[in-house]
Amino acid sequence: MVDRFRMTDRATVNTSLDTLFIDDFGGSAINPLNWDVIDGGLPAIVANTKVAALADLPAAKVSQAKIGSGITGITDAVASSALTVNMGTIVGAERWYLSRDTFLGKEDILVVLSKSQALAANSIFVGLIEVDAATGIPLLNPNFAADGNGSMEFTNRGGVEFGLTATNTAFQAEAIGDGSPNKAAGGIGNAAVAWTTAQECLIEIDSRDITTQTSAVDTVSAKGSQGSRVSTQCPNDKKLYKLVMRFRNVTAPGSATTVTVQRALVVNNFEQRVQISTGEGDQLASKGIPVILVGANGSGSVLGTIYTLWGTAYGSGVTNYHKAIAAATTNPTSVRNAAAVVTGGQIFNASASVKYFKLYNKASAPTVGTDVPIETWGIPAGGFLPVAELIGTAGLRLTTGLAYAITGAAADSDTTALAAGDVIVNLHYNT
């Protein structure tokens, strides 16, 4: 018999994202190549004997008491690409779905599920549990003190509890580490909608913490902001683990809850996660992480927002506005007599010939024809200039002042006046 719990004995084919396990519950029954279904939990084990529920595994090397109530009564069905578990109303009934693959305790789990109602009597746990490296049999925690979910617990486990609450949006990250006598639980997470609607739940398991967030299925909406995290008692990633979906009635349910699981996926988070530890929660500038942003600039865009924030570095960060309609002159104008950052705007030419907008780094109105502009922009006849596109997302910084003139020709020395109303100027700037 092949010992399929030894990683080297099991041939695997991994994708570029290193998917370790996946089940979308096709067909009409649980796939026995993916799961061992254990009704009533794991019975007591005597050394050198096999476990009936895990008949094709090697005989156990160690003895241990049961992990579970031994009570049956939870049923399931597979149809329409989903596993539906009917938890029934029997006190103490439990049912496990234990993966036949083993993992290393540092994985990401994605589960898509919904439940018909929220009852504090129901426990629905999805996560990783420690197994014996030689046989793949789940290991009992002999030190665990009884809590509301019983005293029969696993030596190491980490994941998410979707039950034990009457709040229909709640979930909670949980962990038990290295035979701890108690369970560590994170703050209550709240899904965006009730669990009567199927949702994705991403469970990120690490020896430092377990975090989980939810999001709607088949949408591009962001994950829910109210996730759950636990950072104590996290699983020892030097041990071996299996994925478990454990359903248990810890007290008498008033009615039967059905839980529908559409997908279970385990991904190697060494491949998925790049984490810069020195940037975790720090506000020190020296630990900043550089980011390249791609997108259009201008009002209403992502870069348009950063555009305004960038201006803050040069002054108050308040966007100022200047508007003018050309007079029948060269329109020498002082917009600001101190440093400024031009950030955007639009210049429109209503005439039938090209006009020239001349920008000066000067604290007073320019002497047109004598002062030399820092930039000259041609305004097409009947057209306009999008200022933001000319100066870029960083803006154009003027160290002395913001001033301009408008002439009929391009030369720095030109003093050709406009006709009244030829040009309309709208400038945005930061101080």
Q: Per-residue pLDDT averaged across 49-68, rounded?
A: 85
CATH of domain 7-279: 2.60.120.200
* pLDDT at position 81 over 60: yes
pLDDT band at 57 (very low <50, low <70, confident <90, very high): confident
What is the residue type of 160? V
Tokens of residue 297, six digits: 């600039």
pLDDT band at 292 (very low <50, low <70, confident <90, very high): low
pLDDT band at 314 (very low <50, low <70, confident <90, very high): very low
Q: What percent of the chain has pLDDT over 90?
A: 68
Q: If residue 388 lies in a helix (H) or strand (E), which one and from where to where?
A: helix 387-391
* pLDDT at position 7 over 70: no
The strand pair at 122-130 and 355-361 is best described as unpaired
pLDDT of residue 151: 74
pLDDT band at 150 (very low <50, low <70, confident <90, very high): low
pLDDT band at 420 (very low <50, low <70, confident <90, very high): very high
pLDDT of residue 103: 92
Q: Per-residue pLDDT averaged across 218-225, rounded?
A: 71
Q: What's the rounded Cα separation, in Å, for the pair 95 and 404?
A: 78
- The pTM score is 0.65
Q: Per-residue pLDDT averaged across 255-270, rounded?
A: 93
* pLDDT at position 2 over 50: no
Q: Specify the 3-state DSSP secondary structure of 38.
A: strand
Cα 190 to its chain centre, rounded Å, is 15
pLDDT of residue 222: 61
Residue 303 phi, psi dihedral angles, 5° rounding: -70, -25
Q: What's the rounded Cα separation, in Å, for the pair 32 and 364?
A: 83
pLDDT of residue 48: 87
* pLDDT at position 428 over 90: yes
Q: Per-residue pLDDT averaged across 372-386, rounded?
A: 93
pLDDT of residue 345: 92
For the ranges 73-82, 112-121, 377-386, the lowest mean pLDDT is seen at 377-386
Question: Any residues with CB less than 8 A from the CB of 363 and at least 6 apart, and which?
Answer: 334, 337, 338, 400, 401, 403
Q: Specify the 3-state DSSP secondary structure of 377.
A: strand
pLDDT of residue 318: 55
Tokens of residue 171, six digits: 């979930």
Burial pattern 309-344, b for ≥16 Cβ within 10 A else e, equals ebbeebbeeebbebebebbeebbbbebbeebbbbbb
Q: Per-residue pLDDT averaged across 270-281, rounded?
A: 58
Tally Cβ neighbours within 10 Å of residue 285.
6
* pLDDT at position 76 over 70: yes
CATH 2.60.120.340 range(s) for the chain read 302-430
Q: Per-residue pLDDT averaged across 409-425, rounded?
A: 95
* pLDDT at position 289 over 80: no
* pLDDT at position 302 over 60: no
Count of CA atoms in the C-beta half-sphere (13 A) of 61: 9
CATH 2.60.120.200 range(s) for the chain read 7-279
Adjacent-strand bridge partners of 115:
259
* pLDDT at position 308 over 90: no
* pLDDT at position 274 over 90: no
Q: What's the rounded Cα separation, in Å, for the pair 104 and 80?
A: 32
Mean pLDDT of the chain: 86
| Residues found in the chain | 431
The strand pair at 384-386 and 340-349 is best described as antiparallel
Q: Does domain 302-430 have CATH number 2.60.120.340?
A: yes
* pLDDT at position 357 over 50: yes
Count of CA atoms in the C-beta half-sphere (13 A) of 234: 20
More confident position, 190 or 304:
190
pLDDT tens readout for residues 163-178: 999 999 999 999 999 9
The DSSP-derived string for 282-336 is ---GGG-------S--STTSHHHHHHHHHHHTTSS--EEEEEEE--SS---EEEE
Calculate the alpha carbon distances from 233 to 103, 175, 182, 207, 229 in Å. 18, 5, 9, 9, 12
Tally Cβ neighbours within 10 Å of residue 284.
8
Sheet containing strand 375-379, edge to edge, reads: 333-336, 402-407, 355-361, 375-379
pLDDT of residue 187: 93
